[in-house]
Amino acid sequence: MSADLTELYQQVILDHNRRPRNRGKLPTANRVAHGDNPTCGDQCSVYLRVVPDAPTTSDQPARIAEISFDGSGCAISQASASLMTTQVKGKTAEEVAALYKDFHHIVTTGQATEEISDLAAFAGVHAFPARIKCATLGWHATIEALKSDPLATPTTTETHLD
Amino acid sequence: MLDLQKIRADFPILHQQVNGKPLVYLDNGATSQKPRAVIDALVRYYERDNSNVHRGLHALSMRATDAYEGARARVAKFIHAADPAEIIFTRGTTESINLVARSWGHAHLKPGDVVLTTEIEHHSNLVPWQQAARASGATLKYVPVLGADAEGGLDLAALDTLLTPQVKLFAFTHISNTLGTVNPIAELCRRARAVGAVTVIDAAQSIGHAPFDVQSLGADFVAFSGHKMCGPTGIGVLYGRRALLDKLAPDETGGGMVSNVTYEGARWKPAPERFEAGTPNVADAIALGVACDYLDTVGRDKIAAHDAVLAQLAMEKLSTLPGIRLIGPRPGAERSGLVSFSFAEVHAHDIVTFADEDGLALRGGHHCNQPLMRKLGLTGTTRASFYLYNTEEEIDLLVASLRRTLKFFVGS
């Protein structure tokens, strides 16, 4: 196995692929978004419970209280979505956007700063440009879910972005 | 038997290393490689003859026009069409099918009509019919595929109830790009004719792999691409029976397809020019003619036999891998030169990435066949598709690569 491939399929990634965290529908979700990777058919739905649900004020921005994901795809896309759910809980839309910017930097350049922790496991993706979309699929769905309108009844409708 | 050493020498691209390993190109269902003769034809045209066609009276324009129309006659001969005017050059299979769906569909489909297709079509022979049905108020119906792994082929018994006089058009593929299923197109054409339905055959996967005779089939429309039959990208063909083309309105209008234009209106040229608005893809059409020459020199019957040997060998060897799910016709049953499979524990994308490290070009995903994938309970498959330059040794390399990948992900 080449060094690039070993770098791509890190132990952290294989672990999240085998034992995904926060997988399944979230019954209490008030935001949902769905991402498709049309070239390979990978799918990822992200369910969020955002608190507070009402329009936010500057001193109390909405945060992700709970998150789950569902879908099917390659090891990279599933592991990335799984790891992402563990990293964005408790964060505001702004904080998620900042974290995604770091993550995007990692997967496109292979360079990670120290404090990024587990996300750095995805540095190996940069050597496989065709796989960047796999790694970012769950992140895009989360960002879209944060932008989406609140659900009338939790998790009864989905926003299709394709 | 094919002289593989000689054939492989004709394809410059095959002689390279990918990720430090000799290239094993098994993605011919997506696009085939090009022999030196086709590449040379493109260079020769641009270096010597490049000019616009049907317009100029100068030497270069006449040379280009002769070569372009010569290519049309060559393609007509390739599929045994009665008349070169039945060959319309398009960008490819997709544009060819869209042309029929829009032009023929607009003129003939109305509410209450049925458009019939099958469950195993590529999106290119499915979405245009959804659009045509939507625009006309016609109903779109599908001939089911049989078996949990789609191993049983089309449900021909269901055709009895589906092929009613309400069916105005029946569109079906010759060879499934996902399953390797070879449809009985002669029978499908015959049965469609019996109810007065027009037939559209998607021959993208078959045209460069086996002999094809539009007249003996009695096909009305046949669509295919140049790039899957050793020709260039960006050129394809719509064959239409002359009697149908003569009555068909153009889809695109503009220069080159009109015989007389006034400020009030325009008169169309006859087929095929009526359907080729604007400057056509001259260079690639000429090179497609050369691809026809190449394939006929090798012999499409020999290519078909070679494809079949490789596919059966691959099915046999793949079936020894733990946990493999083989899609399409069972080992030993008739199939085209491709195999499609999945593993519960390893996604197709991961397999393809690992194979790439071993120099193998495979395809992983839904193969533009999402409704079929859903029906089979799959998100995608891995596909290896063969052509005239592939060898039995390459199948061993495929199986060895898959074993390594399985060992990494599953440990067995």
Domains of chain A: 3-147 (3.90.1010.10)
Which residue type does B343 have? F
Cβ separation A40–B353 shorter than 8 A: no
- How far is C-alpha B115 from the geometric centre of its chain's CA atoms? 21
Number of domains in chain B: 2
pLDDT at res. B55: 79
CB-based contact B254:B277 (threshold 8 Å):
yes
DSSP H or E stretch at residue B304: helix B300-318
The answer on B174 and B192 residing in a single domain is yes
Residue of A nearest to B364 (CA): A40
SS3 of B151, please? coil
pLDDT for the residue numbered A56? 53
What does the alpha-carbon distance between residue B46 and residue B230 come to, in Å, rounded to a whole number? 19
Q: For B138-155, what is each residue's pLDDT tens digit?
A: 999 999 999 999 999 999
CA distance B250 to B229: 27
pLDDT at A157 over 50: no
Stretch A58-81: mean pLDDT, rounded? 90
Are B152 and B277 part of one and the same domain? Answer: yes
The verdict on B326 and B362 lying in the same domain is yes
Here the CATH number for the domain that contains residue B79 is 3.40.640.10
Determine the pLDDT at residue A149. Answer: 87
Among B266, B297, B328, the domain boundary falls at B297
Model confidence at A158: pLDDT above 50: no
Q: Which domain holds residue B177?
A: 39-297
> Residue A20 — very low, low, confident or very high, per pLDDT cuts 50/70/90?
very high
B263 and B323 assigned to the same domain: no
CB A74 to CB B349 under 8 A?
yes
C-alpha B124/C-alpha B369 separation (Å) is 9
Whether complex ipTM tops 0.95? no
Computed over its alpha carbons, how large is the radius of gyration of chain B? Answer: 22
Kindly report, residue by residue over B238-282, the tens digit of the pLDDT: 999 999 999 999 999 999 999 999 999 999 999 999 999 999 999
Over residues B315-334, the mean pLDDT reads 97
Give A140's strand partners.
Answer: none
Write the Ramachandran bin of B260: left for phi over 0, alpha for psi from -120 to 50, otherwise beta: beta
Residues with Cβ within 8 Å of residue B133, at least 6 apart in sequence = B109, B115, B139, B140
Neighbours of A37 (CB within 10 A): 21
For the question of whether the overall pTM of this predicted structure is more than 0.90, the answer is yes
How much is the average pLDDT of B55-62? 89
- Chain A residue nearest residue B409, CA to CA: A14
- Residues B55 and B142 occupy one common structural domain: yes
Domain final position from B262, B297, B332 = B297
DSSP B242: H
Determine the average pLDDT of the residues in B207-228: 98
The gap from C-alpha B185 to its chain's centroid, in whole angstroms, comes to 14
Spatial separation of the C-alpha atoms in residues B330 and A156, rounded to whole Å: 41
d(CA B213, CA A13): 52
- Does residue B262 sit in the same domain as residue B311? no
Residue after which a domain boundary falls, among B236, B263, B297:
B297
Task: Give pLDDT, residue A60.
Answer: 77
Q: What is the spatial distance between Cα B380 and Cα B363, in angstroms, rounded to a whole number?
A: 10
Q: How far, in Å, CA of B142 to CA of B197, rounded?
A: 15
Mean pLDDT of chain B: 97
Check residue A108 and give its pLDDT: 95
Chain B contact probe: residue of A74, A77, A162 with most B CBs at under 10 A: A74
Cα(B256)–Cα(B272) distance, integer angstroms: 11
B168 and B317 co-located in one domain: no
Q: How confident is the model at residue A153 (pLDDT cuts 50, 70, 90)?
A: low
- For chain B, say whether A5 makes contact (Cβ under 8 Å): yes
- Where does B210-286 show beta strands of DSSP type E? 221-225, 236-240, 258-261, 266-268
Paired tokens of B23: 């290239």
Active site residue B368: yes
Q: Mind telling me how many Å the CA of A36 is from chain B's nearest CA? A: 12
Mutate to test the interface with B, among A13, A39, A40 (most CBs of B within 10 A): A40
**Which amino acid belongs to residue A63?**
R
Q: Is residue B32 part of a domain?
A: no
B265 and B334 inside one domain: no
Q: How far is CA B383 from CA A23, A86, B153, in A?
A: 29, 34, 18
